[in-house]
A = this chain, B = another copy of it.
Amino acid sequence: VKRVLVTGATGFIGRQMLAPLVARGFDVHAVARTPETTATEDGVTWHAADLLDPMQTARVLNVVRASHLLHFAWYAVHREYWTSAENVRWVEASLRLVQRFTELDGRRAIVAGTCAEYDWTHGFCSEAVTPLSPSTLYGTAKDALRRVLEAYAAQTGLSLAWGRIFFLFGPGEHPERLVASVARALLAGEPAVSSHGRQIRDFLYVADVAEAFAALVASDVRGAVNIGAGEPRTIASVVEMLARASARPELLRLGALATPHDEPPLVVADVRRLRDEVGWTPSRTLDERLAETLEWWRTQRLA
């Protein structure tokens, strides 16, 4: 049986990750610093461990003895993660995790990367072509981690894939991020502010990100794979869709927030590897997912 250890399992993506892996027949083990349970529920066995601690990392790897590793855990405090020195600690912890996993006969590791590894001045991000030139400590840390792990995998025979996550949204998103903040304002009947919105981005619903990763885990595809919808959309069209779905379009304030002068005009994923090699595409449209997300925020208001 294929046993997968999922790190960061209580995170924004991680918590969406477990059901799709169970559905694909994996024996799923989830690790988090403070899981709600350390029992087995819905086919998922939970473990408590702080992966910044070498002893706790070794212990959970020894207990689980997974054949597959899906590594999402990272420093993820809103805004601060771009520049925090904690990124360096997570490079260290991630190198340790993947090494120990491999030494314990782990066969395949999938690690969460980021579109911030690319040089965004190129806009269209293609795994084999677009230069990697991260402009933040976060992007640099992920890029450097991948460089070491790919060389390590080539040397040891570990099967390694690296999923580069683009822009995402959905239930559980930080309330100050774009889709969440606009949805919340609309539902509260307050002005929903955004930048001019002409930037073109590649958005994917968080549960679809998780489905894509589950497909990647189950595949034999190695190397970097963009995790995106591959659908270029202006930010304006995204927030306008939310405004329509909320039936309060008059609340939208495009241009009320300044646009940073270095904001790239277009950041879109080339999804050919994900579609043709991994064999995954989203099952629903972005507009359907945006409407679902608005409804989720409505339930949060009532709760």
Contact = CB atoms under 8 A, between A and B. Distances in A.
A148 B141 contact: yes
User: Considering the complex of A and B, which 3 residue pairs feature the smallest CB-CB distances, nearest first?
Assistant: A144-B144, A140-B151, A144-B147
B99 A89 contact: yes
23 contacts: A83-B155, A85-B155, A85-B156, A87-B148, A87-B152, A88-B152, A89-B95, A89-B99, A91-B91, A91-B148, A92-B96, A92-B99, A137-B155, A140-B147, A140-B148, A140-B150, A140-B151, A141-B148, A141-B151, A143-B147, A144-B145, A144-B148, A147-B147
A44 B77 CA distance: 43
Contacts of A151: 134, 136-137, 140-141
A87 B156 CA distance: 12
What's the interface size class on A, roughly?
A: 20 to 34
A45 to B, nearest CB: 28
A279 interface: no
Contacts of A147: 140, 143-144, 147
A92 B89 contact: no
Interface in A225-245: none
A91 B85 contact: no
A54 interface: yes
Nearest to A84: B155
Given A140-B148, A145-B144, A99 B95 contact: no
A88 B95 contact: yes
Interface in A50-92: 54, 83, 85, 87-89, 91-92
Interface in A95-139: 95-96, 99, 134, 136-137
Contacts of A144: 144-145, 147-148
Nearest to A136: B151
Nearest to A103: B85
A206 B33 CA distance: 47
A23 B46 CA distance: 58
A162 to B, nearest CB: 13
Interface in A143-171: 143-145, 147-148, 150-152, 154-156
Given A54-B54, A83-B155, A88 B148 contact: yes
A95 B85 contact: no
A300 B152 CA distance: 38
Q: Which residue among A85, A134, A150, A154 has the maximum number of chain B CB atoms within 10 Å of its CB?
A: A85
A148 B147 CA distance: 11
Contacts of A140: 147-148, 150-151
